Amino acid sequence: GAVVSQHPSWVICKSGTSVKIECRSLDFQATTMFWYRQFPKQSLMLMATSNEGSKATYEQGVEKDKFLINHASLTLSTLTVTSAHPEDSSFYICSAATGVVWQETQYFGPGTRLLVL
């Protein structure tokens, strides 16, 4: 149980294009999903918290107009990197929270590797 998928697993795009990444909770519903980013040899950094049916909450320094998040259902959140540039190349990982109320656990997807040329 508690499986989270991401699609695509990797993507290469040209500078200036937009890329959409999907995050799905396969066997549970998640009111809250999270998006993280990981640069090479660094740890994961939280980008934003996504709540179903409401606007995402972005961490300081993360541009909300560049990283568009949509959490349209209890099993799907999407991250769109708009007008991607080489510095946006990174490993993007989502997670979904489930479990006992007030001590929910986050389960992570396998990640999406983005390379912007």
Partner 1 sequence: DAKTTQPPSMDCAEGRAANLPCNHSTISGNEYVYWYRQIHSQGPQYIIHGLKNNETNEMASLIITEDRKSSTLILPHATLRDTAVYYCIVSLGGADGLTFGKGTHLIIQP
**One residue of 93, 96, 114, 116 binding partner 1 per CB under 8 A:** 93
Q: Which residue's CB is nearer to partner 1, number 49 or number 82? A: 49
3-state SS of the chain is CCCEEEECCEEEECCCCCEEEEEEECCCCCCEEEEEEECCCCCCEEEEEEECCCCCEECCCCCCCCEEEEEEECCEEEEEECCCCHHHCEEEEEEEEECCCCCCEEEECCCEEEEEC
Closest distance of CB 62 from partner 1, Å: 11
2 binds partner 1 (CB under 8 A): yes
Burial class (CB in 10 A: 0-12, 13-18, 19+), 1: exposed
Phi, psi of 54 (to 5 degrees): -140, 175
Binding window for partner 1 (CB under 8 A); candidates: 14-22, 61-69, 76-84, 102-110: 102-110
Contact between 74 and partner 1 per CB under 8 A:
no
Give, as ranges, the residues between 4 and 63 that touch partner 1 (CB under 8 A). Answer: 4, 6, 32, 34, 36, 43-46, 49, 51, 59
**Residue 67 within binding range of partner 1, rule CB under 8 A:** no
Give the binding site for partner 1 (CB under 8 A).
2, 4, 6, 32, 34, 36, 43-46, 49, 51, 59, 91, 93, 95, 97, 99, 101-111, 113
